[in-house]
Chain A
Amino acid sequence: MALTGVLRPGHVVLRVMDLDKAVHHYTEVLGLIEVARDEKGRVFLKAWDEADHHSVVLRKADEAGMDYMGWRVDSPATLERLAGELVNSGLTSDTSWIPAGEHLHTGKRFRFTIPTGHVMELYAHKDVSGCATGYLNPEPWPDGLKGMAPSRFDHCLLYGDDLDGTVKLFTEVLGFGLAEQVVAGPEKFQIAAFLSCSNKAHDIAFIRQPMKNKFHHASFVLDNWYEVLKAADIISKKKVSLDLGPTRHGITRGETIYFFDPSGNRNEVFTGGYIYYPDKPTVTWTDDQLGPAIFYHDRKLNEAFLSVVT
């Protein structure tokens, strides 16, 4: 296969303060499918077109935010190799192996903390539960979808201090490409990085700011612009806390809307963007053009969008 190494963001685990309200939000509003609960009370969900058992896990806690993100790699051999390389890189801390089965229907995971303070995992196996349309002469989408009904979990945007270390780890150890970046000042100091392990414009993004381990949003992909507008209708109909949109980003060209779950964790649904190849030149935005880089239509920075994180 041509796409090797780290294949995709495979799961994100979010802390929520009211589990019932969170499950209602992620199933009825966002439109994921609840697939299981474990003995710890965690709720496992997936988007309708995802083959693997789960992609989002909700954990009840007394604070909001992200516990960790998990990355699917192409094979057990790659998992072992990358685990060794991550340890030897000197860029990780708190490394450990999580035994198979600790996440339902998931193989063993290698867990590590990156320089921006976020916890990441690699894993090589998750049981395939499949898309309801099946894989033989399938219909384009299944019946019974609810809410916005994105087809899959797409990426996260995270905030942290040591952007240089985290970008080095993702590009030099895990093989990601730098699709886009934001630089500031005459020294072109990097303040944001959009990283891809695939053909997507980003699989993860980071913004430099002073605190470690902050979560900006988890993003889910829709088919088209009309579905983004319909997501806006659903946000109003269900009285969900709207952040902003619908609009377009200059960065990645995505057409987007942002909103919050009942614990204040930001969600995005989006469509569009472009195909990224590893040899595509990196797109660079300068800080004096940050307005249109982030919000292409009104060309203005939005304080809440940049300031509000969990």
Chain B
Amino acid sequence: MTATTHRIEIVNGSCEEFSCAAGLDVLRGMECLGRKGIPVGCRGGGCGICKVRVLEGTFRTGPMSRSCVNDVEQTQGYALACKLFPEGDLRLEVVGKMARCFAKPAGRFHLYGLQDAASQTKN
């Protein structure tokens, strides 16, 4: 008997494709294989760095911080990859991204680290 795996296709960025073992979340599945494409943050559903939108496929999710994925977004397929468990092959779009360590907005330096996950999906 062979272990079930699901094909995860990322449609933007580096357009990675990898096989995720059943039972693993998409982020862990990616990390296990040394693959990239989805930015890795806390892996606990709290920080929002690994936010994706599932375009096709069935899945379930674990607890995700409401400050990262709100009720409406969740019905639209948004999820955090660290809490996204595929139940079939998935096509998904990466939404979250790691901010630059340093930025100089408006001519003033600060450590710029934060992704406002909510603001990325306003459009």
Q: Does B111 lie within 8 Å of A308, measured CB to CB?
A: no
Task: Enumerate chain B residues within 8 angstroms of A261, measured Cβ to Cβ.
Answer: 44
- How far does the alpha carbon of A241 sit from the alpha carbon of B47 in the complex, in Å? 13
Whether A304 contacts B40 in the complex (CB less than 8 A), given A17-B46, A18-B63, A62-B66, comes out as yes
Task: Enumerate chain A residues within 8 angstroms of B111, measured Cβ to Cβ.
Answer: 159, 182, 191-192, 207-209, 306
Residue A142 interfacial (CB < 8 Å): no
Residue A264 interfacial (CB < 8 Å): yes
Residue B17 interfacial (CB < 8 Å): no
Residue B41 interfacial (CB < 8 Å): yes
Q: Does A266 lie within 8 Å of B65, measured CB to CB?
A: no
- How far does the alpha carbon of A208 sit from the alpha carbon of B104 in the complex, in Å? 12
What is the number of contacts between chain A and chain B, taking CB atoms within 8 Å? 122
Q: Does B46 lie within 8 Å of A211, measured CB to CB?
A: no
Residue A260 interfacial (CB < 8 Å): yes
Residue B3 interfacial (CB < 8 Å): no
Shortest A274–chain B CB gap in Å is 23
Residue A145 interfacial (CB < 8 Å): no
Q: Which residue of A lies closest to B65 (CB)?
A: A63
Task: Enumerate chain B residues within 8 angstroms of A163, measured Cβ to Cβ.
Answer: 110
Whether A62 contacts B109 in the complex (CB less than 8 A), given A307-B41, A307-B114, A309-B114, comes out as no
Residue A184 interfacial (CB < 8 Å): yes
Q: Does A264 lie within 8 Å of B42, measured CB to CB?
A: yes
Whether A63 contacts B66 in the complex (CB less than 8 A), given A241-B44, A308-B49, comes out as yes
Task: Enumerate chain A residues within 8 angstroms of B46, measured Cβ to Cβ.
Answer: 17, 63-65, 260, 263-265, 310
Residue A210 interfacial (CB < 8 Å): yes
Q: Produce 1/0 per residue, B24-61, CB < 8 A to A.
A: 00000000000000011111111101000000000000
Q: Does B101 lie within 8 Å of A266, measured CB to CB?
A: no
Residue A185 interfacial (CB < 8 Å): yes
Residue A301 interfacial (CB < 8 Å): yes
Q: Does B65 lie within 8 Å of A304, measured CB to CB?
A: no
Counting chain B CB atoms within 10 Å of each CB, which of A17, A207, A214 scores highest?
A17
Q: Which of A10-31 contact B (CB under 8 A)?
A: 17-18
Counting chain B CB atoms within 10 Å of each CB, which of A18, A243, A301, A303 scores highest?
A303
Q: Does B63 lie within 8 Å of A307, measured CB to CB?
A: no
Residue A262 interfacial (CB < 8 Å): yes
A selection of 20 A-B contacts at a CB cut-off of 8 Å is A63-B66, A64-B46, A65-B65, A159-B113, A159-B114, A163-B110, A189-B108, A189-B109, A189-B110, A207-B111, A207-B113, A211-B116, A264-B41, A264-B44, A264-B47, A265-B42, A287-B109, A306-B111, A309-B114, A310-B42
List 8 A-B pairs, minimum CB-CB distance, nearest first: A264-B46, A264-B42, A264-B44, A64-B46, A184-B109, A241-B43, A17-B63, A208-B110
Residues of chain A touching chain B, judged by Cβ–Cβ distance below 8 Å, are 17-18, 62-65, 159, 163, 182, 184-185, 189, 191-192, 207-211, 214, 241, 243, 260-266, 287, 290, 301-304, 306-310
